[in-house]
Amino acid sequence: MFLKKYAFSAACAAVLVSAYALAPLAQACTRFVYHGADNEIITARSMDWKSDIGTNLWIFPRGMQRSGEAGPHSIRWTSKYGSVIASGYDISTTDGMNEAGLVANALWLVESTYPAYDGTTPGLSIAAWAQYVLDNFASVQEAVDTLAEQPFTLVTDKVPGEDRLATLHLSLSDASGDSAIIEYIDGRQVIHHSRTYQVMTNSPIFEQQLALNSYWQQIGGLVMLPGTNRASDRFARASFYVNAIPKTGTSTDALASAFSVIRNVSVPYGIVTPDQPNISSTRWRTVADQKNKLYFFESALAPNVFWVDMKTLDLSESTGQVKKLSLGPDQSHIYAGLVNDQFKETKPFKFLGL
């Protein structure tokens, strides 16, 4: 009876089976965008990695001189917007929000392949990809319009301490709730742009994730949802819950709902999947309140949530300072509540490049 009621087409079944069977192993992160009442927009993400990714929080003011760190022909720019970011190994920007409410999240996608770089055109290190967007754009539409013109060649390099290339895709969301996913497939940039693209995880590629999720939408989340830590299962759960949680209430209610969803799609700390060694524990989570310009951070190894209020930061070009909040090994330093005054002036890190 259940199978008859929720039967799906042979084509959809083929997509489901082949995607599960062929999807390469990948690091497991999740990102979603919540659309609430009274223009409440919240973007949440989890960072799942097999070892300490060396994350700290940084404040970057406007007016910073940037290089794409891809050799003598690197793209160069001056930051138009200040931002708060979470670093990876203090050589890359993995996550962050700028003062206009634009959020960028870099997640692993093993299927990514980037164009060959001959060193003669403007190049951008993948370590600075998210920061380039945060520095230059206030909205998803503005970013997509520029990226579609391909102003740079994206250049990747090996993950620190590993013998493999960084293979990432990038999600963008803004204070209006607009969203975009940027991937590089077979050496070509692919941009998925729609307010409805609220969720991104890892493998398979985003187009196949949408096909897989259509199956679970037919079943309905109140009947059954996939429960494993696989990327496709987390995509289905996040897609259902982000639209099932209440869209009314206060900002506090909305934040509580967003935190509950990102925790639901996280991988418990210490979990190891024997036959899938690259599916990893959640090490930290961020929740960006794009209406109120609050950036929340939660570490798996610390008992408290803490946050940055971007409205009270000095991000000006004339007096703003680069500052760092050291999170310690495995992000185990303990903070609580508002941490604006605990950042320390620090020399900016250099993006990993050629």
Catalytic sites, residue numbers = 29
How many C-beta atoms lie closer than 10 Å to residue 13's C-beta? 12
DSSP 3-54: HHHT---HHHHHHHHHHHHHPPP----EEEEEE-STT-EEEEEEEE-SS---
Interstrand relation of 294-299 and 305-309 (parallel, antiparallel or unpaired): antiparallel
Q: With contact defined as beta carbons under 8 Å apart, do 37 and 70 qualify?
A: no
Q: Find, among 277, 80, 16, the residue nearest to 164 by Cα.
A: 277
**Rounded to an integer, what distance in angstroms lies between the CA atom of residue 15 and that of residue 144?**
29
**Rounded to an integer, what distance in angstroms lies between the CA atom of residue 275 and that of residue 230?**
12
How many C-beta atoms lie closer than 10 Å to residue 274's C-beta? 5
Show the tokens assigned to 341.
């005054």
